[in-house]
Amino acid sequence: MSLTASARRPVLSDLISRPDDRVRAFALDAALVLTGVAVVALLAKVSFFIGPVPITGQTLGVIVVGAALGARRGAASLTAYLLAGLAGAPVFAGATAGPAYVLAPSFGFVVGFIPAAFVAGWFAERAWDRKPWLAFVGFVAASVIPFLIGVPYMALILATVLGQTVTVDGVLAAGVWPFIVPGLIKAGFAALLVPGAWLAVRAVDRSARR
């Protein structure tokens, strides 16, 4: 499957029959977006605080939601997730929520979830989510994105808000190295889960045609 392929392929959520009525179609999209928020919120509670940024199940949720909903709806779902947390809903890892979460070292990672979901959905829209090895490559690429935003933001908060001495080695130790293996495991699990869902869909479709 070519990385440069421009034709959008169906994602898992496209298999749901879409109403012709615009209001009902919007309601379906909204329901899918809110379902994505709930998935990421639940996985956020699977967290291990090892430093200023916890290891959580959020990235797995981001990847799966992005792949299942597609680029735009996936990004919309993670945007809604971010806004819900800033409004005070207990959707983030830990007990902190509301506007004060902007000052948390992990806030930049949550911002990075939005483009990460978009990228996971972009790969899914090019059918990379149908084969485990292609899905793994695409999902690893999506998993890197939160770190591009989250690590510099974490360093900024540690230095300016918490008044800590920040070094490159310290930032890498707190925000990068501990997350590599768990990130690969989560991408690998998603690369089995999403293609597995497609296998199930095809099996049901074959059974229905008999």
Spatial distance between the Cα atoms of 93 and 150, rounded to a whole number of angstroms: 15
pTM: 0.94
| Residue ranges per structural domain of the chain | 12-204
Tokens representing 87 are 């409004």
Containing H/E element for 47?
strand 47-48
Tokens representing 118 are 């978009």
What is the per-residue pLDDT for 1?
47
pLDDT tens-digit map of 151-191: 999 999 999 999 999 999 999 999 999 999 999 999 999 99
Assigned CATH class of 12-204: mainly alpha
- Mean pLDDT score across all residues of the chain: 94
Determine the average pLDDT of the residues in 96-107.
95
152-167 core/surface letters (b: 16 or more CB in 10 A; e: else): ebbbebbeeeeeeebe
Spatial distance between the Cα atoms of 91 and 173, rounded to a whole number of angstroms: 26
pLDDT at 95 over 90: no
